[in-house]
């Protein structure tokens, strides 16, 4: 369908006019509006419009299902909206803040998650499929890991995930009304290769709290204050926090800084203050939490492997989101170097399968065509160890599938702990990791435990989602 301005003008009037529209965005098939008063919108008339598939209202969003040409509709609608509003941006912002105040915490979190992650879903799923394809071709010996085809596919697929904070910097900036380029630069600062190289190739100046459970290597300091570096790639919470902080700072600085200096002073101060606070405070907090988690998980395993499996299997993806999972990696590497196997990191092996189960459960229950289209490729990538499209696109914005996934992962981890499962080579992704559980002496109880664990994790999450899922429009 080719859009025309008459359609968008009529639509704008039916939603209550420009004065009733706080903001407008879109995803793959929907025009997503925030309205001051949803009762002013003539929903029944909108549903009858030629070119409108449906109207959905949820979590403060008025969603008009248009179809795959929604980008064209949005472009015209947004232009008309801006022309009508003129200089009403400040009023719009205050209205949005008022709407947020009237929402509960959970609704606000869902709103943030939806706004930040929804624009990324297409590329997220596409990159996941490319990454999974590379792994599939390598495991089946169609290509070798040294071949140019594998190197190309693997790096194309990994790029989006490695620079995920950069992408989220842009989408979070749009959500929090920060200058979009500022959000991009903040994300780029977090994954700057120079910082990663310091972590990988430099010797620390000294170790903070040396000898304690939160011992932290210090590579450089700022005015005598130690800076604790970490790998922020693939994390999501630090960048969202940083952009939120930057948005508040930018707004304040535009009031304080003289207009003649604002062009360079506002972005300079916003970027500088945000990154200094993030590196000085967020980094250390995440580093210390990560260290404490690693010590706790190791102690739990020594006490009872089943308990450790429940904790690590259930919470692994939450750890990844916050970036606190890095502290567990040395445990696995140390076990490999000393014993030739690792019984701890494999406890999260059921998590991708639990995620696949919850996503397929959504696929079975949902009547949303957009969600169905995303669910199938997201589930398939889970089976090959790539869970990000499923987590951020399907389960995280929806409470019940997310809980079902956590429960499935926890049960799978508990079973792995009960059978004393071990991996004898670093864990690969998804189904490709199954041979990693086979010892040199042959198949043992740990291998069978892995098979049982992933099966139960999958079925638990799938059945739980099918039983308890309710359509939660995002």
Residue 79: in which H helix or E strand, if any? helix 70-85
Catalytic, out of 27, 189, 346, 382: 27
Query: What does pLDDT average to over the chain?
Result: 85
Q: Given this model, what pLDDT does residue 90 score?
A: 45
pLDDT value at 370 more than 70: yes
Q: Given this model, what pLDDT does residue 411 score?
A: 97
Q: Where is average pLDDT lowest: 46-50, 120-124, 226-230?
A: 120-124
Q: Give the strands of the sheet with 30-35, arranged side by side.
A: 21-26, 30-35, 61-65, 54-58
Binning pLDDT at 50, 70 and 90, where does residue 276 land? very high
Q: Given this model, what pLDDT does residue 89 score?
A: 46
Contact 242, 250 (CB under 8 A): no
Positive or negative, the Cα torsion across 247, 252, 254, 258? negative
pLDDT value at 415 more than 80: yes
Q: Compute the average pLDDT of residues 425-442.
A: 80
pLDDT value at 3 more than 60: no
- Report CA 466 to chain centroid distance, whole Å: 23
CA end-to-end span of the chain: 25
Q: Compute the average pLDDT of residues 18-39.
A: 83
Binning pLDDT at 50, 70 and 90, where does residue 118 land? confident
Q: Which of 105-114, 223-232, 266-275 has the highest mean pLDDT?
A: 266-275
- Which residue has better confidence, 158 or 4? 158
Q: Where is average pLDDT lowest: 26-30, 272-276, 314-318, 461-465?
A: 26-30
Residue 368 phi, psi (nearest 5): -85, 115
Could you count the other beta carbons within 10 Å of the beta carbon of residue 119? 19
Contact 150, 138 (CB under 8 A): yes
Q: Given this model, what pLDDT does residue 472 score?
A: 57
Instruction: Give residue-wise pLDDT tens across range 90-109.
Output: 444 544 555 555 555 666 67
Binning pLDDT at 50, 70 and 90, where does residue 192 land? very high
Please state, for a pLDDT cut of 90, what percent of the chain lies above it: 37
243 forms bridges with which residues in the sheet?
Answer: none
Q: Which of 63-72, 145-154, 427-436 has the highest mean pLDDT?
A: 145-154
Closest CA to 397 of 184, 158, 110: 110
Residue 115: in which H helix or E strand, if any? helix 105-117
Q: Compute the average pLDDT of residues 434-449.
A: 89
Binning pLDDT at 50, 70 and 90, where does residue 81 land? confident
pLDDT value at 168 more than 80: yes
Model-wide pTM > 0.85: no
pLDDT value at 430 more than 60: yes
Q: Is 189 a catalytic residue?
A: no
Q: Where is average pLDDT lowest: 20-34, 248-262, 337-351?
A: 20-34
Q: Given this model, what pLDDT does residue 428 score?
A: 61
Q: Given this model, what pLDDT does residue 184 score?
A: 96
Q: Where is average pLDDT lowest: 44-53, 287-296, 319-328, 402-411?
A: 319-328
Q: Which long-range contacts (CB under 8 A, 24 or more apart) does 190-193 make?
A: 190/165, 190/232, 190/235, 190/238, 190/239, 190/242, 190/278, 191/162, 191/163, 191/165, 191/166, 191/232, 191/233
Q: Compute the average pLDDT of residues 155-165.
A: 90
Return the structure tokens found at 434: 């199954």
Instruction: Give residue-wise pLDDT tens across range 385-411.
Output: 888 888 887 888 788 999 999 999 999
34 forms bridges with which residues in the sheet?
Answer: 23
Binning pLDDT at 50, 70 and 90, where does residue 110 land? low
Instruction: Give residue-wise pLDDT tens across range 208-237.
Output: 888 887 888 888 888 888 888 888 887 888
Q: Given this model, what pLDDT does residue 324 score?
A: 78
Q: Where is average pLDDT lowest: 268-272, 298-302, 333-337?
A: 333-337
């Amino acid at each position: 369908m080719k859009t025309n301005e008459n359609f968008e003008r009529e639509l704008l009037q039916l939603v209550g006019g420009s004065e009733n529209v706080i903001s407008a965005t879109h995803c793959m098939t929907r025009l997503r509006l925030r309205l001051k008063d949803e009762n002013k919108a003539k929903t029944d008339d909108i549903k009858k419009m030629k070119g409108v598939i449906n109207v959905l209202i949820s979590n403060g969003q008025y969603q008009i299902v248009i179809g795959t040409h929604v980008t064209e509709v949005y472009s015209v609608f947004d232009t008309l909206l801006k022309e009508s509003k003129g200089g009403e941006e400040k009023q719009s912002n205050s209205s949005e803040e008022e709407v947020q105040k009237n929402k509960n915490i959970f609704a606000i979190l869902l709103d943030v998650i939806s706004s930040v992650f929804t624009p990324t879903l297409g590329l997220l799923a596409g990159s996941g499929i490319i990454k999974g394809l590379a792994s599939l071709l390598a495991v089946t010996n169609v290509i070798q890991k040294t071949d140019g085809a594998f190197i190309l596919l693997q790096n194309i697929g990994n790029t989006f995930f490695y620079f995920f904070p950069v992408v989220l910097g842009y989408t979070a900036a749009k959500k929090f009304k920060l200058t979009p380029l500022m959000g991009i630069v903040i994300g780029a600062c977090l994954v700057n290769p120079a910082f990663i190289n310091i972590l990988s190739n430099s010797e620390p100046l000294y170790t903070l709290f040396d000898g304690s459970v939160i011992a932290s290597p210090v590579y450089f300091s700022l005015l005598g204050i130690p800076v604790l570096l970490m790998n922020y790639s693939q994390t999501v919470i630090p960048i969202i926090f940083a952009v939120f902080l930057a948005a508040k700072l930018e707004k304040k600085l535009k009031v304080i800084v003289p207009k003649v200096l604002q062009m360079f002073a506002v972005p300079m101060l916003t970027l500088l203050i945000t990154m200094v606070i993030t590196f000085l405070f967020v980094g250390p907090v995440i580093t210390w939490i990560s260290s404490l988690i690693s010590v706790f998980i190791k102690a739990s395993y020594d006490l009872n492997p089943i308990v450790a499996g429940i904790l690590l299997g259930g919470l692994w993806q939450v750890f990844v989101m916050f970036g606190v999972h890095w502290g567990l990696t040395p445990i696995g590497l140390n076990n490999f170097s000393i014993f030739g196997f690792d019984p701890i990191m494999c406890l999260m092996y059921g998590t991708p399968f639990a995620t696949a189960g919850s996503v397929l459960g959504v696929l079975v229950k949902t009547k949303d065509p957009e969600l169905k289209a995303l669910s199938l490729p997201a589930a398939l990538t889970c089976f090959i160890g790539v869970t990000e499209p499923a987590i951020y696109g399907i389960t995280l914005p929806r409470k019940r599938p997310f809980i079902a996934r956590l429960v499935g992962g926890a049960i799978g981890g508990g079973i792995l702990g009960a059978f004393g499962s071990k991996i004898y080579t670093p864990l690969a992704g998804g189904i490709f990791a199954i041979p990693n559980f086979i010892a040199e002496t042959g198949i043992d109880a740990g291998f069978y435990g892995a098979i049982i664990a992933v099966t139960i994790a999958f079925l638990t999450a799938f059945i739980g989602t099918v039983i308890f899922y309710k359509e939660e429009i995002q």
